[in-house]
Structure 1
Amino acid sequence: MRNEQEMVDLIINTAKEDERIRAVYMNGSRTNPNVPKDIFQDYDIVYVVTETSTFIEDENWIKIFGDLLIVQEPDKLDQGIGLDINFERRYAYLMLLDIRIIV
């Protein structure tokens, strides 16, 4: 079970420890000072990486964040319906993790 600071530390330390990750940023409700904090806020995290293929091919890197309950891969879905998607330039995961945040 992690509190908010532990989760932020995990996100940042993951970026620091992986040389493929060049930057990390957060967006969404947690970055908006006008949004009241609540237990339903998620972590909208973006890792800027040197390449995407190793992350896509081996998804074990996700396990560091907690038990994966649901994952969506919108870029893969878009490609599946015929859209021209360049996985070398971007790849998104939408994940619901069982991280049991303590507020």
Structure 2
Amino acid sequence: MQANRWTPICALDDIVPNTGVCALVGDEQVAVFHVGGDTPQRVYAIGNYDPNSDAAVLSRGLVGSLGDRIVVASPIYKQHFDLATGECLEAPANSVHAYAAKVEGGKVWVLA
């Protein structure tokens, strides 16, 4: 089994603030989000596959907040996924994996 390692995804400027992109990390589709436009830059990464709709679409969802939680709303059935934890707020049994993500040297990195 291969140990986790940091993988470069793209330049932070390649992701429009408050949107996401999909990246292939190993053999997994990962939804990577750039939240806000102010410093410090915040990035999040969760699995791109939405088990509620059986489609790989979370990177195309709408970013927002519910209370103190930063979430993405799936573009199909609108369930909300916490970007920090991957928890599906409406159906916790359908939560997705959350990955560590960081900005370093102007690039977005994901630990997978």
The alignment's TM-score, normalised by the length of structure 1, stands at 0.28
More strand by percentage: 2
Q: Bigger relative contact order, structure 1 or 2, given CA contacts below 8 A and separation 6+?
A: 1
Bigger Cα Rg: 1
